[in-house]
Amino acid sequence: MLRTIATLLYVGYLMIVNIPLVLYWKFSQKIGLRQKFQGPQTVVNIWARRMLRLAGVQLERSGEENIVTRPALWVGNHQGIVDTILILSELGPLKSIVAKKEVEKFPVANTWMRCFDCIFMDRGNPRETLKSIRKAQKLLENGKSVVIFPEGTRSRGPEMLPFKPGAFRCAMKAKVAVVPFVIDESYNVFEANGRFKKAKVKLSILPAIETVDYPNMNTYDFSAMVQQQIQDELYRLRGGCEGERKVWTKQDYE
């Protein structure tokens, strides 16, 4: 319980103490200095790493050699609330994150997310979802990397939910690479207990998949291929335990 209180107080403190920096960012954006302003990058990286420590995350990371600096769509499984913090801390320069619409209601936090062009997706509205995917495509075409959780929500446990194939459409149309990443055991940090608790979390970054190498593949087959790679890595991270490896096909999405 003390860990949970400390983590929440820390987040609240950061939101308040960095209000002047948020205001400065907004001002710099208005006068055209946004590209020179590195405040969001520095501050977010620092508080993300500190929050992971406070929350009790003991990170085991692999695949750093697969991090790319060119525009790409980063996709991964989503087990717990700390996954987004891991992204901000461990995947290099800040990337646009596709987040659920509800996050936009959080004051100050939503302004910080707009600092790095996050997209707020209304998952219950197909038309708005399509608009969000188009925004992601435009960012990719303009040289910005985007992160999305194709499951659409947290699984809150070890098993993956089916990916939403439409999540890959923006990368295929923008002709950029897809970089899969795998997170395991992050649900043990919060979801398994209803409070923050010390736990080991594994993060593995897989080699980039070039969408231009699959010009005739539909989004269902592409989604199944990427999810299978993530599933196989989960199987490897867990020591190849029998019964844990699921085979994904496009029928899982229909």
Helix H segments across the chain? 2-17, 19-30, 39-55, 83-90, 109-115, 126-141, 169-174, 219-237
Sorted by sequence, the CB contacts under 8 Å of residue 188 that are 6+ apart come out as: 80, 197, 199, 200, 201
Q: Is the pTM of this model over 0.85?
A: yes
Lowest mean pLDDT among 111-125, 131-145, 150-164: 111-125
For the record, the structure tokens of 157 come out as 């446990």
What would be the CATH architecture of the domain defined by 2-253? 3-Layer(aba) Sandwich (3.40)
**Which one has a higher pLDDT value, 32 or 47?**
47
What does the pLDDT read at residue 43?
76
What does the pLDDT read at residue 182?
98
Q: Where are the domains of the chain?
A: 2-253
